[in-house]
Structure 1
Amino acid sequence: MPQHLPSTLAALPYAPPADDGVDIVYRDASLLLVNKPAGLLAVPGRGDGKDDCLLRRVQAIVADALIVHRLDLHTSGLLLLARGREMQRRLAGDFAARRVHKRYLAVVCGRLPAAGGAIDLPLSADWPQRPRQRVDRLAGKPSLTRYQVLGHDPASNRSRLALFPETGRTHQLRVHLQALGHAIVGDLLYGDASGAGDAGRLLLHADQLRFIHPASGRPLCVDSPAPF
């Protein structure tokens, strides 16, 4: 049985990466798309010492930037920010209506039996083991992830996947892949110690966002290559 390490993860102090400047991938008068590094909170966290976050770093450059959605602390990649309250409201509505198409890249343990598929498993909070989430077929919220296998490395017995979440539940990709039997490499919350290997981080990256620009009405597709 995998040796989950929620207590170890919870005990780790928050140590955000050095502020070497914000990687702004796209910017206009309405919105920004920036690269969040792994290990940096998207918004200020609860408790002392958790004020440093991507939102604060961006606001030091673009004062009217506001958060629209979030990425997990240990996930890297594209984060969309609105400029002003009205644009925040409109973009948040696009996310809620699933008009924003997201793609992630992940490296997982093992070899999947099919070239692609869908993981349709309802999720809910695992309250005794917060912040963990769990598959809950009775009371969980509907959650759907589509995936495509991009390759497999026999030497490490790891596979590279493209992930397309249709819903946006907390830890959705991590729980769905763990439930499939192929935890994301470096995931100390849902994987196991042996699977982490020498990854040094969670190998999950938000590499593409695609949506209709709320001001121009034109399609916008922005990519961010995974650093692994």
Structure 2
Amino acid sequence: MDDKKNNDVWERTASVSDGGLRLDKFWGRELSDAGVSRGRVKSWIESGLATVDGKVVTKGKHKLMGHETLRIGAAENEAGDEAPQPMAGDLTALFEDEHMLVVSKPAGLTTHPAPSEQGPTLVNYLLNQWPDIATDISGMDEQRPGIVHRLDKDTSGIMAVARTEAARLKLAADFSERRVHKVYLAIVHGCPAQKQGLIDAPMGRHQTQKTKMDVLEKGGREARSEYRVLWTGPGGLASLVAVRIHTGRTHQIRVHMAHIGHPLVGDGVYGAHENTLWQRRPDSLATLAPRQMLHAWYLSIAHPATGEQITLTENPPDDFCMLLAGLTRECLRVGIVGMPGCGKSALLSLLRGLDQPCFSADESVARLYGPDGDGAAMIRQRFGGAYSREDGSVDKSALFTAMCESEILRREVMDMVHPMVRHECEEFFSAHRDAVVAYAEIPLLLEGGWHTKGDVDCVVGVQCPADKRTGELREKRGLDMETLAIFDSWQWAEKDKLEVCDLVLDNDGGLDDLKGQAEKLMDWVQNRFDARNTEFDDWLNGVWADLADRIDRERTGA
């Protein structure tokens, strides 16, 4: 079969084996290496630029017999009136040669023009910085020149772009055949129970909201996403997740992460409920997720001309990293413990005088036991008014006597009241999230396991000489020795308490000495807060390189 080309006119002689083949398929096969798509071949045939044995044929479905002389000419590449125009922008090229680009798409930029998005778009910026991709030069589609894959408007990150039609065809085929390795970074609400997993959930259009995608039980197209939790913020509020997509469905990561109950932070479409609650937060986090937190971070793709593997990463943009930093920079939650009468309340009062946010479990119980308190209502409902006053409040003297007489009743009351105190304390910590520290005096914190369940970040103990605690401090509280002994019996021994504490303060002097201990505590907390943030910053600065190395090894099998 001979082969001649002259001024974008190609000539072939059909072989016997070509008999029965459609004309458009024949030329699509023959010109694929020249970077000519089947769609362009079809348009040339329909424009009268193809002949069979010298006769013009305008139908691509024309069947060949074999041995015909075939010619086809290329129409001039002309941009129509609706073609996107160059617009000044500032795109960063991570890779560039005459065949392709790899660029960084900023969040908030649509990939290409559409009826609902005329510009500026990534295509407009590409045409300005790399005018050779325009249709009249490259021969590529005028509306989407160079585009071989897309990112959502509010998704940032790496995108491959073709500079020639031949490169476009090769890159598009690699994406279609799933020969491209893509990894995204996402910040999601909460923390998945499984730290890594494969989400195999077919997708399609939402049945009632056609602008949305959804996981479908029947009729969906294959969609697979592989995720890995890299880090979870304090309290499990949000997590940093790496997601590799094995398929490229529209909104795939957003839909899949929402499907397993952890939508992306900032995603008002697939995480509407969570996003609404987030925006209502009373702290600075409410302003740190203006978009869905998704970043195309890792791309490994074969060069369309040389076949060489090009592997690139791009660290997340500032808004992404600011949210991560904001998640870890919550207040240091300090629990204060000690034996009854050791001076915990006095320390708390001094801290309040130093403008520190403070919570008292005793004050919480007093509110709960008041006439309108939830604790009073629960005790009245459970015990039929046996320990209730006429105004609805708890008769604390009668209840204390009953608790002394019955360990079962004491534990039952504790099981009712402690969760309510814990809830109030959680709300207190949440309300002061933007502070450096928030202090909570919880007498039974250790006994309730708060320190092991992540309810506090550190525990500070107050130590007091026994004679002072059982003497002047007991008398100031109006406790007799028997009552103090009962309170002591309901708690851990002092030695056991102090061994668990991260810091122990001595209350062996007067009030001025205790104030000095309060100031010591504040300095210690500030240093701990700074150290925690520095540790996170160091981790964040190194995590991207470590993750890239891990993914490279997994991809290559090294």
Q: Is this contact kept in 2: 1:109–1:195, CA < 8 A?
A: no
The separation in 2 between residues aligned to 1:64 and 1:88, in whole angstroms, is: 13
Q: Percent identity?
A: 37
Matched with 2:295 is 205
**Residue number among 179, 182, 186 corresponding to 2:259 in the alignment:** 179
**Residue number among 24, 29, 33 corresponding to 2:93 in the alignment:** 24
Matched with 2:123 is 55
Q: Is this contact kept in 2: 1:74–1:202, CA < 8 A?
A: yes
Kindly provide the CA deviation profile for residues 159-199 of structure 1, in whole angstroms up to 9, marking residues without a partner as x.
00000000000111000000100000000100121245331
Deviation at 1:155, TM superposition (A): 4.4
Please report the RMSD computed on the Cα atoms of aligned residues, expressed in angstroms: 1.6
Matched with 1:34 is 103
Deviation at 1:88, TM superposition (A): 0.3
Q: Is this contact kept in 2: 1:30–1:83, CA < 8 A?
A: yes
Runs of 4+ in structure 1 over 4 Å off = none
Deviation at 1:50, TM superposition (A): 2.0
Deviation at 1:156, TM superposition (A): 6.3
1:132 maps to 2:212: yes
Describe the shift of the 1:149–1:107 C-alpha distance in structure 2 as closer, same or farther (beyond 3 A). Answer: same
Deviation at 1:20, TM superposition (A): 4.8
The separation in 2 between residues aligned to 1:191 and 1:64, in whole angstroms, is: 41
Instruction: Name the SS for the 1:67 alignment partner.
Output: coil
The separation in 2 between residues aligned to 1:153 and 1:90, in whole angstroms, is: 42
Q: Is this contact kept in 1: 2:88–2:128, CA < 8 A?
A: no
The separation in 1 between residues aligned to 2:316 and 2:254, in whole angstroms, is: 17
1:84 maps to 2:153: no
The TM-score, its normalising length taken from structure 2, stands at 0.37
**Residue number among 173, 198, 212 corresponding to 1:93 in the alignment:** 173
1:67 maps to 2:136: no
Instruction: Name the SS for the 1:182 alignment partner.
Output: coil
The separation in 1 between residues aligned to 2:257 and 2:220, in whole angstroms, is: 17
Instruction: Name the SS for the 1:128 alignment partner.
Output: coil
Q: Which has the higher contact order (CA 8 A, sep 6+)?
A: 1
Matched with 1:223 is 313
Deviation at 1:81, TM superposition (A): 0.4
Describe the shift of the 1:175–1:195 C-alpha distance in structure 2 as closer, same or farther (beyond 3 A). Answer: farther
Describe the shift of the 1:183–1:195 C-alpha distance in structure 2 as closer, same or farther (beyond 3 A). Answer: farther
Matched with 2:328 is none
Aligned AA for 1:119?
Answer: I
Kindly provide the CA deviation profile for residues 14-53 of structure 1, in whole angstroms up to 9, marking residues without a partner as x.
xxxx965111111111100111111110000214x62310
The TM-score, its normalising length taken from structure 1, stands at 0.87
Matched with 1:43 is 112
The separation in 2 between residues aligned to 1:19 and 1:204, in whole angstroms, is: 25
Describe the shift of the 1:195–1:142 C-alpha distance in structure 2 as closer, same or farther (beyond 3 A). Answer: farther
Q: Which has the larger radius of gyration?
A: 2
The separation in 2 between residues aligned to 1:73 and 1:177, in whole angstroms, is: 18
Deviation at 1:90, TM superposition (A): 0.6
The separation in 2 between residues aligned to 1:213 and 1:22, in whole angstroms, is: 21
Aligned AA for 1:223?
Answer: T
Structure whose residues are more often strand by fraction: 1
Instruction: Name the SS for the 2:307 alignment partner.
Output: coil
Matched with 1:10 is none
Deviation at 1:89, TM superposition (A): 0.5
How many residues are paired up?
Answer: 210
The separation in 1 between residues aligned to 2:293 and 2:211, in whole angstroms, is: 19
Q: Is this contact kept in 1: 2:89–2:125, CA < 8 A?
A: no
The separation in 2 between residues aligned to 1:41 and 1:127, in whole angstroms, is: 25
Instruction: Name the SS for the 1:64 alignment partner.
Output: helix
Describe the shift of the 1:19–1:184 C-alpha distance in structure 2 as closer, same or farther (beyond 3 A). Answer: farther
Matched with 2:78 is none
Deviation at 1:130, TM superposition (A): 2.7
The separation in 2 between residues aligned to 1:78 and 1:19, in whole angstroms, is: 20
1:119 maps to 2:199: yes
Q: Is this contact kept in 2: 1:104–1:205, CA < 8 A?
A: yes
Aligned AA for 1:194?
Answer: L
Matched with 1:153 is 233
The separation in 1 between residues aligned to 2:255 and 2:100, in whole angstroms, is: 30
Instruction: Name the SS for the 2:129 alignment partner.
Output: coil
Instruction: Name the SS for the 1:55 alignment partner.
Output: helix
Instruction: Name the SS for the 1:129 alignment partner.
Output: coil
Kindly provide the CA deviation profile for residues 114-151 of structure 1, in whole angstroms up to 9, marking residues without a partner as x.
22100010100115313110111111011000001100
Instruction: Name the SS for the 2:208 alignment partner.
Output: helix
Kindly provide the CA deviation profile for residues 88-107 of structure 1, in whole angstroms up to 9, marking residues without a partner as x.
00100000110111010000
Gaps of at least 5 residues in structure 1 are 1-17
The separation in 2 between residues aligned to 1:111 and 1:165, in whole angstroms, is: 19
Once structures 1 and 2 are overlaid, which stretch shifts more, 179-188 or 155-164? 155-164
The separation in 2 between residues aligned to 1:210 and 1:150, in whole angstroms, is: 21
Matched with 1:194 is 277
